Amino acid sequence: MNKQLFDVVIIGGGPAGLAAAHSAKLNGAKKILIIERDRELGGILQQCIHNGFGLHRFQQELTGPGYAQRYIQLVKEHPEIEVLLDTMVLQVNKDKTVIAVNPKQGVFEVQGEAIVFTMGCRERTRGAIRIPGKRPAGVFTAGAAQRMVNMEGYLPGKKIVILGSGDIGLIMARRLTLEGADVQAVLEIMPYSNGLTRNIVQCLDDYNIPLHLAHTIIAIHGQERVTGVTCAKVDANMKPIAGTEFDIECDCVLLSVGLIPENELSEEVGIALDAKTNGPIVDQRRQTSIPGFFAAGNVVHVHDLVDFVSEEGEIAGKYAALFAQSKLPENYRTLHVMAENAIRTVVPQKIALDHVSLDAVRLFMRVGKPEENLMVEVTGAGEKVLASKRLPIAKPGEMIVLEIPIDKFADAGDSIAVTTRQVVKA
Amino acid sequence: MQNGTKADIVIIGGGIVGTAIARELSKYQLDVILIEKQPDIAVGTTKANSAILHAGFDAHPDTLKARLNVRGNAMYHELEKELNLDIKWTGSLVVAKTDEEMVTLQELLIRGRKNNVPGLEILNREEVLAREPHLSSSVKGALWAPSAGIFLPFGAAVAFANNAIKNGVRILTECPAEEIVTRAGKVIGVKTPQGLIQCDYIINAAGVHADEISRLAGDDSFTIAPRKGEYILFDRKVGNLVNTVIFPAPSKVSKGILVCPTVHGNIFIGPNAQDIANKEDISTSPTGMSEIIDRAQDLLPQLPIREAITQFSGIRAAADCGDFVIRNSTTAAGLIHAAGIQSPGLTAAPAIAEFVVEILKQNGLLLTAKSAFDPHNPPTVVFKELSLAEKQAVVAQNPLYGRVICRCETITEGEIVAAIQQPCGAKTVDGVKRRTRAGMGRCQGGFCGPRVTAILARELNIPVSQVRKETAASYLFYEKMPGDCEVAGHE
């Protein structure tokens, strides 16, 4: 097998991978490869035909395919970026060789100077949340149903119950209503929705679709095809409360119960993962625990806006390109970023201090549960506040972003903390 | 099929018993038809069970269960080679945690030796923990049975069916037996929605429905008392927690809730035992899930519940007499029951097939060996298990092996097409899943489901809206609705 050499090999041609490729090119990489398993670039954006993408990036409301196309165009303009479609990566090795397969070339190996993981995420399934009951046809994850409706042109059902109020579930409630299906209800086991507020308004409220908070499905019925579900209210420990059961007739159950970063390849290489984000632990350059391996997008942590995914891809692409050109110092000081109090996750988890990585650091955070009147503070050595932000409302479904100039970290000690405190209403 | 179809023998039921019998009969110059009411074979008890090749120490020495278990276990060594079955001879442990349970192990040891189970021995605590370091430290000892193994029951049934078809058996799916036709107390045919099949012998291998088939001939000499068992399957990530089949010391009613590896490196826990009224009730319940989790954690305290990828339940086709019912019908000459096949039925299946052939012989059926009988199935390509050079070679020969459809299990389009095109080919999404593992991984078909559906539609030359999940009416997708998309009530 003759092994082709690349400066940067990017695994996954969704929004993170596309942005990484373009940014790697702008930062001096001469030979860049995107490996994509689907037959076209763009990733999940291609099935997201609704609008609402690109408000931050392009100050415009684009559809998913529209947003993807902008980056695909950028990538296509550069002959330095090679794209392999319909190609699955089978294995990534520590020496940065990548083994992949496609129908045209068969199994082949490529060698990167740097690798960028942009594999995205997958949906949690019925099995993972153990919904009891039968196993008839008509139970789908919301994303799989979205692909069938928007790309293949088929309906997953005509009378629908959606479990989980994540954004895909909300979007599909509207989409299926527009297709003529009858969306009976959206159930959410938490006392609040994890979806964006705008999606609750635009996808449920506008169509009179009821949202039952603190409710779940306790049984799925039907021998061949789904015939209905039994639902119940849940207590504070998310256990169904006896006596609150009710049945909903339906022929389809869609699950929107969470996304899991797809890190099987990263784990096989031995990259350290964050138990809370389920993604690699990265520094602000999106370099993982193994030098030369970078990661960006939903593979790092599940985003709610593609704009931030692109931003992260650009960062990873830039520093992967610098690494490939041996422009990143091998030795540098590292700060650890700790999530405290109401903050559940923070990315990046580390900050690398060297004379090259001089971009301002943007911390992406999520709270563990809805909060009000929150002061988010980033503190360094001696409780010195490096940055702060006041939030009247903070929701787990909406990412909190704080930007800090890199020079502020110079005398911050070995670790900084992202912490919160309650403040009185202004 | 037209009225007037004739066969020497009709087998009712395409589970592991029916297909093993079909394959055994295909060795002789006989015209055999197997009828199955579902679109695919092996979708009843055969698809959801503990998938264990039992050593044979459980059943009492004078039972058919004991005799056919030990014989069946031995036969699988030959079948493994002939039919390319996926078997791992892991051995099994029955674990005791109290002195009382240690006494039970001694009883099992004595019983097992009477049943001619090879290699049984009692291990002490240290020996058990050396084999299974993650077991609860409160273990006192265990009965070690080296001849036990794990396998794929539906894989075996499909392999039996493929080989049977190769040797001349016909399999008719979506073909339930509606009526057993007799004349002067003797079987002359089976009525099905596809027409009447005239025949001299009928073999009742209808699993949980075997008593209903028996009633069609006026024979109420046994009843099936369906007993449900629930299971939870775990991700391969935790597959290294156990190496062998691990039973708790048995109670009077069941072998208990076990922790068991699968041939693909996952582990499962279960089953519980619950008598049920409805034979189709394969639902799982929250109480059942908690019960098996608690019992499994008694054996394996570190079992991480969050690594569960799916749960399912299966139904044991237990007969009221407690033993297998393999004999002539009490009312209709020519009807032979192979019923009440609960555990260790999977293990016993090939021996049950031999036994049924013996009964046919005693009934006067002339058995002439078929010189052209080919005991072998061609090897199946499992892309993931090939070396790099072998992968390269299969893709060069057929580019479809270069397109990965199921990313969790790395199953290629070539494998899926082969599963659909084999003699007893998949016709449903679950049929593809059982034959190839596409959709069995951690995303449970979330990614590959729509793609497998499209491949089935293409290969079977049917619209996507006609592709089914499993059973006759389990359609997955609808055509989009015609008309405008005005939403009622929207202002």
HEC assignment per residue over chain B: CCCCEECCEEEECCCHHHHHHHHHHCCECCCEEEECCCCCCCCCHHHCCCCEECCCCCCCCCCHHHHHHHHHHHHHHHHHHHHCCCEECCCEEEEECCHHHHHHHHHHHHHHHHCCCCCCEEEEHHHHHHHCCCCCCCCCEEEEECCCEEECHHHHHHHHHHHHHHCCCEEECCCCCCEEEEECCEEEEEEECCEEEECCEEEECCHHHHHHHHHHCCCCCCCECCEEEEEEEECHHHHHHCCCEEEECCCCCCCCCEEEECCCCCEEEECCCEECCCCCCCCECHHHHHHHHHHHHHHCCCCCHHHEEEEEEEEECCECCCCCEEEECCCCECEEEEECCCCCHHHHHHHHHHHHHHHHHHCCCCCCECCCCCCCCCCCCCHHHCCHHHHHHHHHHCHHHHCEEECCCCEEHHHHHHHHHCCCCCCCHHHHHHHHCCCCCCCCCCCCHHHHHHHHHHHHCCCHHHCECCCCCCECCEECCCCCCCCCCCC
Burial of B89 (0-12, 13-18, 19+ CB in 10 A): middle
Q: Is the pLDDT of residue A134 over 90?
A: no
Q: Is the pLDDT of residue A255 over 50?
A: yes
Q: Domain limits at B435?
A: 383-466
Looking at the annotation, which residues of B are catalytic?
54
- The pLDDT assigned to B7 comes to 97
Residue B303, domain CATH:
3.30.9.10
Q: pLDDT tens digits for B426-464? A: 999 999 999 999 988 777 888 888 999 999 999 999 999
- Residue B317 to chain A, least CA–CA distance (Å): 19
Q: Domain limits at A158?
A: 125-257
- The pLDDT assigned to A199 comes to 92
Contacts of A299 in chain B (CB under 8 A): none
Contacts of B468 in chain A (CB under 8 A): 137
Q: Which of residues 121-160 of B touch A (CB under 8 A)?
A: none
- Identify the domain boundary among B316, B340, B365: B316
Quote the CA–CA distance of B181 and B196 in Å, as a whole number: 9
Whether residues A99 and A161 share a domain: the answer is no
Q: Is the pLDDT of residue B487 over 70?
A: no
A132 → closest Cβ in B289, B310, B489: B289
Q: Residue B282 — very low, low, confident or very high, per pLDDT cuts 50/70/90?
A: confident
A155 → closest Cβ in B403, B404, B480: B480
Residue B430, domain CATH:
1.10.10
Say which residue, B486 or A98, is predicted with more confidence: A98
Whether residues B171 and B67 share a domain: the answer is yes
Q: Residue A61 — very low, low, confident or very high, per pLDDT cuts 50/70/90?
A: very high
- The pLDDT assigned to B483 comes to 62
SS3 A161: strand
* B468:A102 CB<8 A: no
- The pLDDT assigned to A33 comes to 98
Q: Which of residues 422-451 of B touch A (CB under 8 A)?
A: 442-447, 449-450
Whether residues A88 and A174 share a domain: the answer is no
Whether residues A287 and A336 share a domain: the answer is no
Whether residues B197 and B339 share a domain: the answer is yes
Q: Is the pLDDT of residue B327 over 50?
A: yes
* B311:A157 CB<8 A: no
Whether residues B357 and B457 share a domain: the answer is no
* A102:B403 CB<8 A: yes
Lookup result for tokens 């079992």:
B303
- Identify the domain boundary among A257, A275, A305: A257
- The pLDDT assigned to A312 comes to 98
Whether residues A365 and A287 share a domain: the answer is no
Whether residues A11 and A86 share a domain: the answer is yes
- The pLDDT assigned to B439 comes to 87
- Identify the domain boundary among B292, B316, B340: B316
Q: Is the pLDDT of residue A1 over 60?
A: no
Gyration radius of chain A's alpha carbons = 22
* A88:B309 CB<8 A: no
Whether residues B169 and B36 share a domain: the answer is yes
SS3 A423: coil
* A90:B410 CB<8 A: yes
Whether residues B208 and B81 share a domain: the answer is yes
B487 → closest Cβ in A104, A157, A178: A178
* B480:A132 CB<8 A: no
The tally of domains found in chain B comes to 3
In a domain, B179, yes or no: yes
The tally of domains found in chain A comes to 3
How many beta-carbon pairs below 8 A join chains A and B? 151
Quote the CA–CA distance of B23 and B353 in Å, as a whole number: 8
Q: Is the pLDDT of residue B490 over 60?
A: no
- Residue B356 to chain A, least CA–CA distance (Å): 33
Lookup result for tokens 């695919």:
B40
Whether residues B161 and B216 share a domain: the answer is yes
Q: pLDDT tens digits for A362-376? A: 999 999 999 999 999
Whether residues B79 and B176 share a domain: the answer is yes
Q: Across chain A, what does the average pLDDT equal? A: 94
* A127:B284 CB<8 A: no
Which one of B403, B405, B456 makes the best mutation probe of the A interface by having the most chain A beta carbons within 10 Å? B403
Q: Is the pLDDT of residue A136 over 80?
A: yes
Token pair, residue A174, equals 């509207």
Quote the CA–CA distance of B430 and A398 in Å, as a whole number: 38
Q: pLDDT tens digits for B337-386? A: 999 999 999 999 999 999 999 999 999 999 999 999 999 999 999 999 99
Q: Which of B364, B351, B360 is nearest to B324 (CA)?
A: B351
Whether residues A49 and A197 share a domain: the answer is no
Burial of A271 (0-12, 13-18, 19+ CB in 10 A): buried
- The pLDDT assigned to B310 comes to 85
Contacts of A1 in chain B (CB under 8 A): 388, 392
Token pair, residue B236, equals 């391969």
Q: What is the percent of chain B with per-residue pLDDT over 70, rounded to a whole number?
A: 97
* B284:A101 CB<8 A: no
Residue B462 CA neighbour count, 13 Å, CB half = 13
Quote the CA–CA distance of B472 and A129 in Å, as a whole number: 28
Whether residues B81 and B170 share a domain: the answer is yes
* B446:A128 CB<8 A: no
Quote the CA–CA distance of B54 and B153 in Å, as a whole number: 13
- Identify the domain boundary among B350, B379, B408: B379
Whether residues B185 and B296 share a domain: the answer is no
Q: Residue B253 — very low, low, confident or very high, per pLDDT cuts 50/70/90?
A: low
Phi, psi of B48 (to 5 degrees): -135, 100
Whether residues A199 and A344 share a domain: the answer is no
Least confident of A195-199, A204-208, B298-302: A195-199
SS3 A184: strand
Contacts of B476 in chain A (CB under 8 A): 137-138, 156
In a domain, B481, yes or no: no
In a domain, B391, yes or no: yes
Q: Is the pLDDT of residue A426 over 70?
A: no
Residue A178, domain CATH:
3.50.50.60
Contacts of B44 in chain A (CB under 8 A): none
Q: Would you call B404 an interface residue with chain A, using a CB distance cutoff of 8 Å? A: yes
Whether residues A106 and A81 share a domain: the answer is yes
Whether residues A196 and A232 share a domain: the answer is yes
- Identify the domain boundary among A196, A229, A257: A257
In a domain, B478, yes or no: no
Which one of B174, B268, B388, B408 makes the best mutation probe of the A interface by having the most chain A beta carbons within 10 Å? B388
Query: For the residues B276-289, what does the mean pLDDT come to?
Result: 86
A225: closest chain B residue by CA: B474
Residue B169, domain CATH:
3.50.50.60
- The pLDDT assigned to B447 comes to 82
Q: pLDDT tens digits for B412-422? A: 999 999 999 99
| Residues across chain B | 491
Q: Which of B152, B105, B107 is nearest to B125 (CA)?
A: B105
Q: Which of B159, B119, B118, B129 is nearest to B23 (CA)?
A: B159
Whether residues A399 and A370 share a domain: the answer is yes
Which one of A152, A224, A254 makes the best mutation probe of the B interface by having the most chain B beta carbons within 10 Å? A224
Question: Is there a contact between A143 and A167 (Cβ–Cβ < 8 Å)?
Answer: no
Whether residues A131 and A194 share a domain: the answer is yes
Whether residues B339 and B397 share a domain: the answer is no
Whether residues B141 and B165 share a domain: the answer is no
- Identify the domain boundary among A328, A351, A374: A328
Whether residues A186 and A276 share a domain: the answer is no
Whether residues B293 and B432 share a domain: the answer is no
* A133:B391 CB<8 A: no
Q: Across chain B, what does the average pLDDT equal? A: 94
